């Protein structure tokens, strides 16, 4: 999760797509076009191995868009394939 957050901060779209499960991966993220978002921090709230090859991570990410502070709380689902973790999906929560 931390590596994916860092990739968003650094706009490393190729890394994000490579660590996204192929069944749910978008074609592109267009991060280079996003000049308004400034990432401020990440807090992992909870991480749990939920099965032999599945995990859940709850996190809070803080950022600003055009100077306005925002927060994103998400519960993310990951799957492990051949000893590599892939992001599958996330549900935004309050």
> CATH number, domain at 43?
3.10.450.50
- Write out pLDDT tens, residues 46-71: 999 999 999 999 999 999 999 999 99
Overall number of domains in the chain? 1
- Write out pLDDT tens, residues 5-52: 999 999 999 999 999 999 999 999 999 999 999 999 999 999 999 999
Distance CA 75, CA 73 (A): 7
Reported pTM: 0.90
Q: 60 lies in which domain range?
A: 2-93
Q: Which strand ranges, in their side-by-side order, compose the sheet holding 37-49?
A: 37-49, 54-65, 68-81, 84-93
Nearest partner of 12 among 20, 4, 23, judged by Cα:
4
In this predicted structure, the answer to whether residue 94 has a pLDDT above a threshold of 80 is no
């Amino acid at each position: 999760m931390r590596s994916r957050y860092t990739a968003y901060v650094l706009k490393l779209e190729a890394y994000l797509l490579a660590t996204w499960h192929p069944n749910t991966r978008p074609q592109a993220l267009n991060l280079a076009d996003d000049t308004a978002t400034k990432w401020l921090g990440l807090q992992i709230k909870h991480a749990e191995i939920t099965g032999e090859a599945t995990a859940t991570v709850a996190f809070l990410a803080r950022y600003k868009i055009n100077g306005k502070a925002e927060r994103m709380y998400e519960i993310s689902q990951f799957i492990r394939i051949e000893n590599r973790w892939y992001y599958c999906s996330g549900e935004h929560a309050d």
